[in-house]
Structure 1
Amino acid sequence: MSVSGVQGEERLDYTRAESREIRRRSVRLLGSLLRPQRSRLWLTALAVVLSSAAQAAGPAIIAYGIDSGIPALVEQDWFPAGLAVLAYLATGVVGAFLIAVYIRLSARVSQAVLIDLRTRVFLHTQRLSLEFHESYTSGRIISRQTSDLDAIRELLDEGLVVLVRSFTYMAFTALALVLLDPTSGLVLLGALIPMTLVTRWFQVRSQALFRRSRVASASLIVKFVETMTGIRAVQAFRTERRNADEFGDLVEDYRDVNAKVLGLFTVFNPALAFIGAVSVAATIVLGGFRVVEGSLAIGALLAAVLYVKRFFDPMEDVAVFYNGYQSASSALEKISGVLEEEPSVPDPAHPVDLWNANGHVRFENVEFAYTRDRVILPRFDLDLPAGQTIALVGSTGAGKTTLAKLIARFYDPSDGVIELDGIDLRSLHPKDLRRAIVMVTQEAYLFSGSVADNIALGKPDATFGEIVSAARAVGAHEFIEGLPNGYDTDVNKRGGRVSAGQRQLISFARAFLANPAVLILDEATSSLDIPSERLVQEGLQSLLADRTAIIIAHRLSTVAIADRVLVMEHGRIVEDGSPADLIGGEGRFAALHAAWRDSLV
C-alpha cells in the first residue's frame, strides 16, 4: 500500500470492495497476533465454557431443591435438600474458580498481543522510508501507538472474554430451559426475533458512528501534538486563540459523534430490557396456568423464569462489547494500514557488501519525480570523485536537498542508477550504506540523554577518548566542558538545554566520529553565528578531510572550502566548476557571490 493508501484510512466513504479488503487485512493482522497464543486461548475458552455451564446449572438445581427437596423434608428425608444445597454451592465454587482462571489467562493473552503489536508498529514505522514520514504526520503515528492501541487493549482485556462468556452462558441457559420446559423454550424462541431485529438495527447504525469517533479522536491527538511540538511558533505568532477555536471545533465534533453513539444505546438497551420483561411475563403467565393444571411443578416454573430472565442479562454486556469492538475494529484497521505500508526504498534482496568505501559517487541517466507529472530532477549524469568537496548552490526549491537525499538513499531515483564505488545504492547492504554515507541536516536533532551519548550515536561502541577527540576536531569541546556536567550533561528533550548552534556542533562531532566516506551537510551551518561559523570552518577542514563531501549552503562563506561548485536551478545543474573559476565568470554563481560580498560591506 502506498502512503496515500494509508492516508485513506482517515476516510469515511469507503466503497464496499475497499471495506472488504480493509476487514480482511485487519483479520489477517489479528490472526497473526493470536496465533502464538493458541494454547492459552483454548484453555481460556475451556474455562469460560465450563464456568458458564456451572452457572447455568443453578436454576435447575433450585428447581430440584423445591420440587424434590421440600416434599422430602416433609417426610423427614434431608438427602434431596442437602444434595441440592451442596450441588448449588459446588457449582458456585467451581464457577468462581474458573472465572479467576480465565481472567488470568485472558490478561496474559491480552498483554502478549499488545506487546507484539506495539513492537511491530514501532519497528515497522522505523523501517519505513522518509517519504512515508514526510507524508504521515507525527500526531497520527502517536495516535496509532496511544488511543488506537488503548482501544484494542480494552477489547482484549475484557471485551472478548465478555462476549464469549455471554454467548456461552446464553447458549447453556437456552439449552437448560428447553430441557427443563420446552414450552418456555418456545417463548424464548419467539423473543429472539425482535431481539435479532433490534441488534441488527444497532449494528448497522453504530458502525459508521464508531469509525467517525476514531477519526475524530485521532484528529484531536494530531492537533494537540502538532500544537505542543510547534509551541514556539504558536507563541511567536500569537496563534493561541485560533488554535483554541480549531481545537474547540474538533472537541465539539468528537462530543457530537459520541452523543449520537450514546443516543443509539438509549434505544438499544431499553428495547432489550423491554423484550426481556415481556418474555419473563409471558413465561410466568403460561407457566402459571400449567401449574394450576398440574402439568408443571412450581420449582420448574421458578427455574424457567430465572432462565428466561438470565438469558437477557448478558445482552447489556454484549452491547457494551459491541461499543468496544467497533472502536477496536476501527483502530485495528488503521494500525493494519500502517503495517501494510511498504518502504518506498526497500532493502536489497541480495545485498552487496562494501566494507571500506572510497566515496566515489556517480549518477548515470538519473531522473527523479514524485509523480509522473511532477518531475523534480530532470534526467542528468554526474560524477563526484572520491575525496572531493562539492558545494551545491542555488535558490530555494532548486533541487539541492533532493539531490542530497538521493545520495543518502532516502529516496530512490525514478529512473537511472546512482553508484557508490561502482555499486548501485539499491544493491548495497544497508549497514554498509549507512556507515559509508552520513547526512547532517539543518535540524541537528538531539535525543534525550547525555552529550556523549548523542555524539556516539553513529558509533555506539566509541570510547570516551574518541568522543572527546571528535568534539575537539569540530570545535565543540570548549562549550561542552562548560556545561553543568560536561559530556555527561543531559541535553533534555530535542536538545533543549543547548542552543541551536551548539546542537549543530554536536551533530558535527557525531558525523566526525561516524567517519563516513561520503558526508552531506544540508544547510548545516545555518544555525551558527558568524564567530561560531568561523570556528566551525576550522573544524570542517578536519571533518571534510579525506572524504567525499557535499555541502548545501546559502552562506557562500561555507562554499569557500569546496573544491567544486554545482549551481542548480529548477532541478538542473546549470554551472559546474571551481569556486575561483565561477567567481571570475559571468554566470549565476558569480552574481550570487557578488551579492553576498556586497551584503558584507
Structure 2
Amino acid sequence: MTATPPRRVTATTNEDDFNLGRDESRAVRRRSLRLLGNLLAPHKKPLLVAVLLVVTSTVGQVAGPALVAVTIDQAIPALLDRGDAGPLATFGALYIVAAVAGGLAAGAYIRQAARIAQGVMLDLRRRVFRQTQRLSLEFHETYTSGRVISRQTSDMEALRELLDGGLTGVVSSMFLMVFVAGSLVILDWRSALVLAAAFVPALILTRWFQKRSQVFYREQRTASARLIVKFVETMTGMRAVQAFRRESTTERDFGALSDAYREANLKTFGLNGRYQPGLLLIGNVTVTAALAIGAWRVLEGGMEVGVLAAALLYIKRFFMPIQQIGMFYNAFQSAAAALEKVSGLLAEEPTVVEPQRPEALPHARGDLRLDHVRFAYGDGPVVLPDLDLHIPAGQTIALVGTTGAGKSTLAKLVTRFYDASEGRVLLDGIDIRDISTQDLRRAVVMVTQEAYLFSGSVRENIALGRPDASQEDIEAAARAVGAHEFIMRMPDGYDTDVNKRGGRVSAGQRQLLSFARAFLADPAVLVLDEATSSLDIPGERLVQHGLQTLLADRTAIIIAHRLSTVAIADRVLVMAHGRVVEDGSPDELIAGDGRFAALHAAWQDSLV
C-alpha cells in the first residue's frame, strides 16, 4: 500500500514565539518539558546519585550552625566551669567532619551533574542535526538557514550554560533552603516565624521577577536569533551585497538588529538590578529583626546565646540561595526560551515519509511514468494540473519552457523531494512512495545548478555518493566529464582541498566536479536541472561528449535553457503552465512551426 504523506505539523519555531496566545504557550511549554524529560530519562541512575550527593552536601552545610549552637551553649560552659575540654573537641571535630563531607559531596555532585549535562547536550545536538537532515526539502526551502544555525549554536549554548552551572546551583540552593528552614524550625520555632514572615515579600518579589524575566528573556532570544539570521544571510550573499553596493543598507539593518539585541539585554540587566538588591534588603531586614527579637529573648532568659547565633546563621544562609536562584533564573529563562525553539524544530514532521513496508528495488532499470500527477506547493496555486508522461528506460529527454512552466517541479517529484498532491510517480512500475529512500537515492540522482562542494579533497567530493570507490573509478568519472585535466593542474591533484588557497575552483569547474560525482554514483535515472548553466561555451563543449557517453543506456531528464545541451536528447518536451504542449525528437520539433522551432530559430540568430 502506498504510504500516505502525513499532515505537516507546523511547530512553533517562529522567532516571535513570545507573542503566542496563552493556550499555545502552554502547549509549547508542555512540548519542551516532554523533550527535557525524554533527554533525562536515560540518566535516571546518575540523577539518583546526584540527588544523594547534593543531600549529603546540604546536610554538611546545615549541620554547621547547629554545632555552633551546641558548642556555645554546652561545650564552652563545660570547659569554663569544669575544665572539661572533651565536648569542645568533640563538637569541633564534628564541625570539621561535616564541613569536609559537605565539601567533598559538593565537588562530587558538580562533577556528576556535569557528566549528566554533557550527556544530555550530546544527545540533543545529535537529535537536532539528525532532524535537520531528516526533514524534507519543503522545510529547508521555507525555514531559513540562519534560524537552523541559531538552533544549533546560540540556543544550544543557552542550554549548555544552564545545565553546566545554573541547574547545579538551583538544585543545591533549593535543597539548602528546605534544609535550613527545617533546621530552624527544630532549633527555634519562634525564629522560624520571623523567617516565614520575611519569606512572603521575598516570594512576591521573586514572582514579580519571574513574570517579567520570562518575557524579557524570550525577547532576548528572539533578538539574538534575528541577529544571527541577518549575519548568516549577509555573509552567504556577500557577492550580491557588494555587487549591488548594499553594504550601507545591510550595515544599517544589522545595526538596528544589534541595537534591539542590546536593548533586550539592558532590560534583563535592569530587572536584575532591581531584584537582587530587593532580596538583599529583605534578607538584611530579616536578620536585623531576628537579632532584635532574639537579643530581647536572651535578656529575658527565654533563649540561649548559642541558639541565637545559630538562628542568625540559618536566616542569613536561607536568603543566600534565594539570591542564587534569582541569578540562575535568568539562565533558566534564556534556556527555557531556547528549549521551546529546539523542541519546535524537533516536533517538525517531514512531508516526504519513509514507506512502512518498502518494496525492494536493488537494480533499477529507469522506466519512469507520471500517472496523472497533480501538484501544488502547500496552499499555493497548482503548478502541475494533470501531467501524464512516460519516459522509457534508457531514454534521454530534455525539458524546455519558460520560467514557471513546471520543469524543476517535475524533477523534484521524480527525485521525491516532494510527493505528488494527486496521482503517482512510478519507477519500474513501483510507486516511488513505496521505495525505500536508500534504494531511491541509489537509483535516482539529481545535479542542480548549485554545485556544492564540501570541505575536503577533490577525491572525497567526487566520491560523495560512493565513498568506497577506487582511485581508478574516480579518475574515470572525472575524465568522462572533462574534469581530469584541470584537477591535475591543481596543487595536489585529487588530494587538493577545495576550500584552501590553491584549491579554489570556478563555477564551471564546480559543475564538472558535480557531474563526476553524479556519474560515479551510476544511477539508473539522472536528472540535470540547469546543470550546464555555469559552464562557458568551451566548457560546455567539453562536457557534451562526456554527457553523451555517460547518458548512454541511462534514463536522463535534462532541464536546460541552452539548446546546445538539449541537442543530445532523444526526445524534447516543451512545457507551459504545467502541461506538455510539444513532444518529439529535436529534429522533428525544429522542422515544425511550434514553440521549440521558434526557440531554436531565436537561438541560432543569437549565435550569429
TM-score interval for Structure 1 and Structure 2 normalised by the shorter chain: over 0.9
Q: Which residue of 1 aligns with 2:100?
A: 93
Shift of 1:90: 0.7
Partners of 1:4 and 1:274 in 2: CA distance:
47
Structure 2: distance between partners of 1:494 and 1:398: 41
Q: 1-side partners of 2:222 and 2:505: how far apart?
A: 38
Q: Deviations over 1:339-368 (max 9, x none)?
A: 111111011111111111110100111100
Q: Which residue of 2 aligns with 1:23?
A: 29
Among candidates 49, 61, 66, match of residue 60 of structure 1: 66
Aligned partner of 2:55 in structure 1 is: 49
- Once the two structures are superposed, residues 366-395 of structure 1 have per-residue CA deviations (whole angstroms, 9 ceiling, x without a partner) of 100123451111122111111111000011
68, 78, 97: which one pairs with 1:72?
A: 78
Provide the residue aligned with 1:348 in structure 2: 355
The residue that corresponds to 1:490 in the other structure is: 497
- The question of whether the paired residues in 1 share the 8 Å contact of 2:525 and 2:554 is answered with yes
Aligned-pair CA distance for 1:512: 1.0
Say which SS state the counterpart of residue 445 (structure 1) adopts. coil
The structural deviation recorded for 1:3 is 7.1
Q: How many residue pairs end up in the alignment?
A: 601
Q: Does 1:239 align with 2:246?
A: yes
> Counterpart in 2 of 1:499?
506
1:150 corresponds to 2:170 = no
Equivalent residue letter for 2:69: A
Give the equivalent residue in structure 2 for 1:540: 547
Give the C-alpha shift of residue 208 in structure 1: 1.2
Q: Quick one: which amino acid aligns to residue 177 of structure 2? A: M
Distance in 2, matches of 1:482 and 1:204, equals 64
CA distance in 1: counterparts of 2:186 and 2:10, whole angstroms: 57
1:146-196 alpha-carbon deviations (Å, 9 max, x no partner): 110111111111111111111110111111111111100000111111111
Q: Which residue of 2 aligns with 1:368?
A: 375
Superposed, 1:175-254 pairs within 5 Å as 175-254=182-261
Counterpart of 1:12 in 2: which secondary structure? helix
User: 2: CA distance between counterparts of 1:8 and 1:328?
Assistant: 16
1:396-475 → structure 2 map (5 Å cutoff): 396-475=403-482
Change (3 A) 1:442 1:494: farther
Alignment correspondent of 2:534: 527
Contact 2:491–2:503 under 8 Å retained in 1: no
**Deviation per CA, 1:412-435, whole angstroms, max 9, x where unpaired?**
001110000000000001111001
Q: Secondary structure at the match of 2:371?
A: strand
Identity of aligned residues (%): 61
Q: 1:109, CA displacement in angstroms?
A: 0.3
Q: In structure 2, give the amino acid aligned to 1:209.
A: F
Alignment partner of 2:590 out of 538, 560, 583: 583
Structural mapping, 1:287-302, within 5 Å: 287-302=294-309
- Preserved CA contact (<8 Å) 2:9 2:347: no
Measured in 2, the distance between the counterparts of 1:435 and 1:261 equals 52
CA contact (8 A) 1:455 1:510 kept: yes
Q: TM-score, normalised by structure 2?
A: 0.97
Report the alpha carbon displacement of residue 17 of structure 1 after superposing the two structures with TM.
1.4
- Secondary structure of the 1:350 match is coil
1:575 partner SS: strand
Residue type matched to 2:21 in 1?
T
Partner of 1:128: 135
TM-align CA RMSD: 1.4
User: Which residue identity is paired with 1:57?
Assistant: A
The CA deviation at 1:12 is 2.6
**Deviation per CA, 1:64-108, whole angstroms, max 9, x where unpaired?**
111111111112110111112111111110011001110110010
Rounded Cα–Cα distance in structure 2 between residues aligned with 1:47 and 1:63: 26
SS at match of 1:458: coil
When residues 176 and 263 of structure 1 are mapped into structure 2, their CA distance, relative to the original with a 3 A threshold, is same
Aligned mates of 2:408, 2:373 — CA distance in 1: 15
Secondary structure class of the residue paired with 2:433: coil
Aligned to 1:552: 559
Contact 2:497–2:503 (Cα < 8 Å) also in 1: no
**Residue number among 23, 29, 34 corresponding to 2:40 in the alignment:** 34
Match of 1:172 among 179, 204, 215: 179
1:495–1:503 Cα contact (<8 Å) kept:
no
Which of 312, 325, 329 matches 2:332?
Answer: 325
SS at match of 2:556: strand
> Do 2:370 and 2:426's aligned partners in 1 also have CA atoms closer than 8 Å?
yes
Q: Deviations over 1:475-534 (max 9, x none)?
A: 111111111111111101799711111111111111111111100001111111101110
Distance 2:383 2:9 in 1: 19
In structure 2, the residue matched to 1:138 is: 145
Secondary structure of the structure 2 residue equivalent to 1:245: helix
Question: Which whole-Å deviations, capped at 9, do the CAs of 1:447-497 have from their partners, x for residues lacking one?
Answer: 111111111111111011110111111111111111111111110179971
Check conservation: 1:389, 1:564, Cα contact below 8 A. yes
SS in 2 for 1:447: coil
Q: CA deviation at 1:598?
A: 0.4
Residues 1:337 and 1:42: Cα distance change in structure 2 (over 3 Å): same
1:4 CA displacement: 4.8
Residues 487 and 357 (structure 1 numbering): CA distance in 2 closer, same or farther, change over 3 Å?
same
CA distance in 2, matches of 1:56, 1:314: 13
| Contact 2:13 2:345 (8 Å CA) reproduced | no
Q: Distance in 1 between matches of 2:274 and 2:489?
A: 68
Q: Are the equivalent residues in 2 in contact too, given 1:3–1:136 (CA < 8 A)?
A: no
Cα distance in 2 between the residues matched to 1:468 and 1:529: 23
**Cα drift, residue 265 of structure 1:** 1.2
C-alpha contact (below 8 Å) 2:47/2:116 kept by paired residues: yes
**TM-score normalized with structure 1 length:** 0.98
Tell me the distance in 1 between the aligned counterparts of 2:500 and 2:319.
54
Helix, strand or coil at the partner of 1:362: strand
Q: Structure 1, residues 1-37: CA drift from partner, whole Å, max 9, x if none?
A: 8475344353332111111111111111111110111
Q: 2:276 aligns with which of 266, 269, 288?
A: 269
Cα separation, 2, equivalents of 1:207 and 1:192: 22
Which amino acid letter does the alignment assign opposite residue 464 of structure 1?
Q
Separation of aligned partners in 2, 1:244 and 1:494:
28
Q: Take 1:138 and 1:270, find their aligned partners in 2: how far apart are those partners?
A: 42
- Measured in 1, the distance between the counterparts of 2:164 and 2:436 equals 42
SS in 2 for 1:202: helix
**Structure 1 residue 199: Cα displacement:** 0.9
Q: What's the counterpart of residue 598 of structure 1?
A: 605
For structure 2, the 5+ residue unaligned runs are: 1-6
In 1, distance between residues paired with 2:267 and 2:490? 56
Seen in structure 2, the aligned counterparts of structure 1 residues 493 and 256 have a Cα distance that, compared at 3 Å, is: farther
Give the conservation status (yes or no) of the 8 Å contact 1:7–1:136. no
Q: In 2 relative to 1, CA 226–99 (structure 1 residues): closer, same or farther, beyond 3 Å?
A: same
